[in-house]
Every structure is written in structure tokens, then in C-alpha cells.
Structure 1
Amino acid sequence: MTSAPTTTARQRPKGLRDFYENPAVPVASGDARSIRQARILAAALGPATTRTATVLDIGCGDGTAAATAAPLLAGHRVVGVDWSQDALKRAHARLPYVVRGELSDGGLPFADGAADAVLFSEVVEHLVDPDSALDELRRVLRPGGHLMLSTPNLAAWYNRGLLLAGVQPVFSEVSLRGIHGRPGKEVVGHLRLYTARALREFVAASGFEVVRLSGAPFHGVPRPLRALDRLACAVPSAASILLLHARKA
């Protein structure tokens, strides 16, 4: 997720909904992840000259990720979906189609099987109930439809070293009010973190067939370590970001 000012005492949220409606909370993630994810999806969908696909960017935030992916998905219809009205206002400046929806049972305003693909980028780690969320994504996808999910990797190469040193892993958070016990200063509201193995098993248990798991770099890695972070992408289980491509079984 992109950096933002730490929530101060005067900005303390009453709950998760207030936290995510706060304009200071980041609602976009790095371009490197967006581009890699879009390339995988573009290859899976094929050119729009054959068929125009409907792609839902669920949890689109300010629309940055979808706008970055759009040139690689030229001709396909990309729809931004978020429950935050503030995020949707910003996304509308980048995307022609935005709608409000929630990841509850029937909370997405689409018919069963209406979508050819779902982008689900850096969302699952923020959810109280990820199982119900994947059930809803599966509902709106057509049979064989594509799920492109990305999330931070609990077992990223640097987190393994931090844990050995007794330090809280990067991406993990114990409070909505500040960072405690780990590097970094920004609070982004992570509730759940996955290793590569856990993510595969979780998605498969939700009725999807995992096609591919790959890695992407994290824009927040200090500059001297970014080359190493890019190299780690060759081993997805150690990469900063997990990119998972699955199909509705």
C-alpha cells in the first residue's frame, strides 16, 4: 500500500469503517505489482478483438491500479468497485465506470456470473471475513472466470530475518493508532497475512483452481535493497508481494 501520514490521536478511528473512510489512509499500491498482475490477466483474457471481457476491480481504491492496468487490457471493460465513497470519487477521475459495492453476501451489484475476471489487489489482508468475500467474488464470476489476487507475503525474505531477530514482520500491524515493534511508520489496516502456501490453500478451499503463483516487489523496500527485492520475485514464496491467478472451478 502507498504511504500516508500516521493516524494521530486527533484522527483516531471509532472502527474499521471510519478508518478506511479517512482520506489519510492509503488506498493504492505500487505500480510494479499492478503491471505484473495486468500482464498475467491480459494473457489469460486474450485480445479484445475476439471478445470484450468485463473486469471488476474490487476494492479499487482511488483507481490507480486499474488505470495502470488499463493500457494492457485495452478494449476490455474495467469497472472499479469500492464501498468507500471517498475512494470512488477519486477513482472516477481515472476510470469511466465506478460503482459502490460491499463484500457481503449479495453485496456486489452484479448478477451471478456477470464478470469475466476480478482484480482483487491488496484487499484480502484488510478483511475481517475473507471467506465470505471470496464466496461473493466466486458468485459474480462466470464459470472459468479469472481471479487475480495480490497480497503482502508474511514470509517475505526480510520478514524471515526480522522474525529470527524477534522483530514484528513488515506488513503486520497490532494497532490502528500506530506502528509497534516493526520497521515503518504508516498504519494501513492489515488484519490478515498469508504465506504462499496458506494463500494457495485458502483460495482452493473457496472453490477456485489455482493456475499460477508469482511474486512482485514492494515499493516500500529501502532503495539499497530494491535490486535484491526484485531478485526475490523469482522465488514467489520469498517475494514481497504474492500474485495469485486462479479460475472459478
Structure 2
Amino acid sequence: MGYFDWHEEPGYFRDVTRHFRSDARLLDVGCGTGWIAKHFPDYTGIDGSPDAVARAGDLGRNIILGDVDEPLPFGDGEFDAVVMKDLLEHVQSPGAVVSEALRVLRPGGLVFASSPDAQRWVWDDYTHVRPFTIRGFRRLFIDQGLEIVTSGHESVMPGTSIVSARTKAKRRPLPYRVAARTPFIRRNVWMLARRPST
């Protein structure tokens, strides 16, 4: 199985998509091949990998090539929603990336982000720059001017996606959601935040 196949739609995709209206104008930052496009007709993705963008194009997905560590090539308040799934652990300046997400969100717009929890397994991926604690992740978004709607941990124990896919669950099965509360279980932090209306 190739890298892009491994990072296609997870079995638990509703853990991400459930936060947004289906007609939302959605920006997916660090989108890979853009599996979220299957759920949002008004979808735009941006990724720094030419291979990912080419593969997304083959799949008919609206994805552009761009460096997410640079200012995003979109206007102020252009999107209803922004997704940054498994992105912020890879960037040099997560504050600048979150600030750009705030800029391109319309007032009242929502952003979903997830990233590995601060655990030893995170460093098995040489592309990771940093992990996050839930407190640090929340502070990152608050300091950039976003309001936290909700946050938590999600289990990323080996086999989670396989079990979710085989059971046709659109969210992580309950035992995995409960396991994510245990600090030594392999998990991510996640957050839903809002751009203030004023």
C-alpha cells in the first residue's frame, strides 16, 4: 500500500466532517490527496507535495500546490470552514499557520484541527517537528484570536481505522473514544474553534 492510499479517507471520517454543514465552503490545509472533498461540494485543498496534488487532480479534486508555512493564497473571510488535520506537528511556525486560518475564515466560521499528543511514539515519524498537549493546543488557537468550541483526545491506536472501516462506523467506535482518555494510549489532540463574529 502506497503513502497516499494509507492517507485516504479514514474509517472514522465523521469525526472530522460532522462539525460542518455539507454546503460549507471548506478549505483543507495540508490536505494530501483531499479525501474530504468527497463530502463537501464547495471544497478547496492546499498541499506542499506535488505528488499529492497530481494524485488529487487525477481524482478530480480541487487542490492547489502551495507552501502552508507561507501566507495562504486566499482572500480574507473567504471560507466557512478550515480543516488542519494532522498538519500542525509538521510546520515550523504553527502560530502563523493558525493565524492564516483565522484570516481566511468568515466571522463565525469554524476550524477543525488535530495533531499528535505529546507522547514518545510521535518521534517515530521523522517529519514531525513537535507534538502538542491538549492545553498547549488550546493555547495556540486562543492566542491567535479563535474561540474554543470543544476539544479532546482521539485514539490513534494501531488498527483504529481498520476496525472503524470494517464496522462501517463513521466515527471511532466507543471503546476507542473511551481509550483516548488514557494518557499512555496512543492518541491525538483535536479541537474545534470559531472565529469570533465581531
Short-chain TM bin = 0.7 to 0.9
- Matching of residue 141 in structure 1 with residue 108 in structure 2: no
Query: What is the DSSP-based 3-state SS (H/G/I as helix, E as strand, rest coil) of the residue aligned with 1:149?
Result: strand
Query: What is the DSSP-based 3-state SS (H/G/I as helix, E as strand, rest coil) of the residue aligned with 2:139?
Result: helix
- Matching of residue 39 in structure 1 with residue 3 in structure 2: no
- Aligned partner of 1:200 in structure 2 is 138
In structure 2, C-alpha distance between the alignment counterparts of 1:29 and 1:220, rounded to whole Å: 16
How far the C-alpha of 1:25 sits from its partner, in A, is 8.7
Kindly tell me: are residues 133 and 26 of structure 1, through their superposed partners in 2, closer, same or farther at Cα, counting changes over 3 Å? Answer: farther
- Aligned partner of 2:44 in structure 1 is 79
1:117-132 alignment runs, 5 A limit: 117-132=81-96
- Matching of residue 231 in structure 1 with residue 178 in structure 2: yes
Q: 1:170 aligns with which of 115, 121, 125?
A: 121
Kindly tell me: are residues 56 and 236 of structure 1, through their superposed partners in 2, closer, same or farther at Cα, counting changes over 3 Å? Answer: farther
Residues 154 and 189 in structure 2, CA contact (< 8 A), matched pair in contact too: yes
Residues 8 and 33 in structure 2, CA contact (< 8 A), matched pair in contact too: no
The TM-score with structure 2 as length reference comes to 0.78
- Aligned partner of 1:211 in structure 2 is 149
Quick check: which has more Rg, 1 or 2?
1
Q: 1:58 aligns with which of 29, 46, 49?
A: 29
In structure 1, C-alpha distance between the alignment counterparts of 2:91 and 2:5, rounded to whole Å: 15
In structure 2, C-alpha distance between the alignment counterparts of 1:215 and 1:32, rounded to whole Å: 17
In structure 2, C-alpha distance between the alignment counterparts of 1:33 and 1:152, rounded to whole Å: 16
**What is the one-letter code of the residue matched to 1:232?**
A
Query: What is the DSSP-based 3-state SS (H/G/I as helix, E as strand, rest coil) of the residue aligned with 1:119?
Result: strand
Gap regions ≥5 residues in structure 1: 5-23, 160-168, 174-178, 180-186
Q: 1:244 aligns with which of 171, 186, 191?
A: 191
- Aligned partner of 1:189 in structure 2 is 127
Kindly tell me: are residues 150 and 30 of structure 1, through their superposed partners in 2, closer, same or farther at Cα, counting changes over 3 Å? Answer: farther
How far the C-alpha of 1:229 sits from its partner, in A, is 3.9
Residues 78 and 105 in structure 2, CA contact (< 8 A), matched pair in contact too: yes
Larger relative contact order (Cα-Cα within 8 Å, sequence gap ≥ 6): 2
How far the C-alpha of 1:77 sits from its partner, in A, is 0.7
1:109-165 CA-to-partner distances (Å, cap 9, x unmatched) read: 2111111110100000001111111111111111111111011112xxxx4xxxxxx
- Aligned partner of 2:116 in structure 1 is 152
1:91-110 alignment runs, 5 A limit: 91-106=56-71, 108-110=72-74
The TM-score with structure 1 as length reference comes to 0.64
Gap regions ≥5 residues in structure 2: 163-172
Kindly tell me: are residues 25 and 97 of structure 1, through their superposed partners in 2, closer, same or farther at Cα, counting changes over 3 Å? Answer: closer
Query: What is the DSSP-based 3-state SS (H/G/I as helix, E as strand, rest coil) of the residue aligned with 1:40?
Result: coil
Query: What is the DSSP-based 3-state SS (H/G/I as helix, E as strand, rest coil) of the residue aligned with 2:178?
Result: helix
Residues 63 and 94 in structure 1, CA contact (< 8 A), matched pair in contact too: no
In structure 1, C-alpha distance between the alignment counterparts of 2:112 and 2:189, rounded to whole Å: 10
In structure 2, C-alpha distance between the alignment counterparts of 1:214 and 1:33, rounded to whole Å: 15
Residues 30 and 85 in structure 2, CA contact (< 8 A), matched pair in contact too: yes
How far the C-alpha of 1:40 sits from its partner, in A, is 2.1
Kindly tell me: are residues 26 and 102 of structure 1, through their superposed partners in 2, closer, same or farther at Cα, counting changes over 3 Å? Answer: farther
